[in-house]
Amino acid sequence: MTEGAVTPKLVSLSWPLVAGNLLQTFYNLADMFWVGRVGPEAVAAVSLMFPTAWMFVSVAMGVTAAAVALVSRHVGAGDDRAAERVVGQTLLLAVAVGVLLGFVGYLGRRPLLALIGAEGRVYTEALAYAEVLFVTLPFTFVFFAFRAVLRGAGDTRTAMWLVVVSAGLNVVLDPLFILGYGPFSAMGTRGAAVATLVARIVAAAAGLAILLHGGWGARLRLADLRPDPVLLRKLVDVGYPATLDGLARSFAAVALAALVARFGAVATAAYGIGLRLMSVSWTVSGAVGQAAATGVGQNLGAETPDRAAEVTWKATAGTMGILGLAGAVVWAFPAVFMRVFIGDAAVVAAGVEMLTIIAPFWAFLGGLMVIQGAFRGAGQTRVSMALSLVSRWVVRFPAAFVLAYALSWGVVGLWWALSLSGVVTFALGCLWFLRGDWRTAVVDDAADEGRRGSDETTATGTTD
């Protein structure tokens, strides 16, 4: 990403990420498709759990965000050994956080479901799903660490093929475990979570094998799994705002789901399906944002900030064009998309109302994610976090309460608040990026500290 025409390089880096994310979204949609054959309550249960599951995925992305910034900077500067040290410490941190969150989440699963408004059969189905979901977390974190370090090194295709295997396995297992085809017993919503668990275990194991081999741009050396306090501190320092960013976004999604749940199971089921359709836009914009992060990081490492800015603006414009077109198609045919997942007339009508309001604003929501990716690639994860906080907690929720309750718009007010927050925060993100503060290298000193720490380790005779 540091030489040659920007657009072809950006496309080459982005399309495997887009394809991989779309495949992940596809198996999320497959979950909803097969769960929809169980009944509206099962759909409502998975709909309530989707924002919660995304909360933990966002934490995984936050924990590994520092790896993208540091690995891409070291690769841009030509220091492969320093990048390898980041790989080892990233995996160590990811496993530790994944195990901790899985344990805490499993213990607190019942209060969590009560907090987000699950009741009756919806509660029972959501509990069955959640119990397996928390067991999946450590493997999910390992897989995201694998994707992050390869992405920082500029290899997005290997991770894409691993997503193909994982998603394909999940799609095949879904009907077997959910509905009980063949020799398997029907497990309902629990079956959807079990299929995801099996797919994540396979993906995590394959990812570790690829990193140990080291032939795909990033290498894991077992000696680098020894805790390095200096480098771990840097990963936490650069990564914790991205983690808080992910938590803020996810808590906001959980809180919005709780608000939607107050309007009944029909609105909740419609929201869950609409959210899955919206996730297609997130996967595209998130993938291009990840590519932008790599491009910005490598070009700052190569001391070409103007090229980093060019990467960002071209990535943003391309993403908004694609999502504008996708949003227009969904806006024109919302009932068609809803009926793919469920035939209940009331849920379809509620979903049509939601999509008609939100789909025209997908481009702004996606453009913001690309801008945030550029800030993360520059190591300015605090700015990305601030934009998320403003979007969700300064704009969206005050607007939601005013529109839905003060003005008595009902659930429609929630949809308008979500759309409004995307437009306002996208404009703010663009203005913030134009200030140019991100051009200042913020991880170089830390990289030097990491090298000094490694040199000190070498002097004591404990290096690999």
Across residues 175-186, what is the average pLDDT?
Answer: 86
- pLDDT in the model for residue 357: 93
Q: Is residue 133 in a domain?
A: yes
Q: Is residue 198 in a domain?
A: yes
Q: Is residue 238 in a domain?
A: yes
- pLDDT in the model for residue 464: 35
Assess whether pLDDT exceeds 50 at residue 20.
yes
Return the DSSP state at 391. Answer: I
Give 158's pLDDT tier (boundaries 50, 70, 90).
confident
Q: Is residue 243 in a domain?
A: yes
Q: Is residue 1 in a domain?
A: no
State the distance between the two ends of the chain, measured CA to CA, in whole angstroms: 31
Task: Name the nearest CA neighbour of 450 among 70, 91, 97.
Answer: 70
DSSP helix/strand/coil, 83: helix
- pLDDT in the model for residue 399: 92
CA distance 462 to 464: 7
Of 253-257, 342-346, 371-375, 449-453, where does mean pLDDT reach its minimum?
Answer: 449-453
Tens of pLDDT along 304-350?
888 889 999 999 999 999 999 999 999 999 999 888 877 788 889 99
Return the DSSP state at 226. Answer: S
Give the total number of structural domains in the chain: 1
DSSP per-residue string spanning 308-347: HHHHHHHHHHHHHHHHHHHHHHHHHSHHHHHHTT---HHH
Domain that holds residue 232: 6-457
CA distance 382 to 243: 10
Q: Is residue 340 in a domain?
A: yes
Assess whether pLDDT exceeds 60 at residue 458.
no
**Which one has a higher pLDDT value, 207 or 60?**
207
- Report the phi/psi class of residue 226: left, alpha or beta, with left for phi > 0 and alpha for psi in -120 to 50: beta
Q: Is residue 462 in a domain?
A: no
Exposed (0-12), middle (13-18) or buried (19+): which is 120, by Cβ within 10 Å?
Answer: exposed
- pLDDT in the model for residue 448: 47
- pLDDT in the model for residue 1: 67
- pLDDT in the model for residue 449: 43
Q: Is residue 387 in a domain?
A: yes
CA distance 270 to 40: 10
**Which one has a higher pLDDT value, 408 or 29?**
408
Tens of pLDDT along 47-88?
777 767 777 777 777 777 778 778 887 777 777 788 888 888
| 193 contacts 50 by C-beta, under 8 angstroms | no
In single-letter form, the type of residue at position 282 comes to W
Query: Pseudo-torsion of CA 281, 282, 286, 289, nearest 10°?
Result: 60
Mean pLDDT of the chain: 82
Compute how many other C-beta atoms are within 10 angstroms of the C-beta atom of residue 434: 9
| 21 contacts 280 by C-beta, under 8 angstroms | no
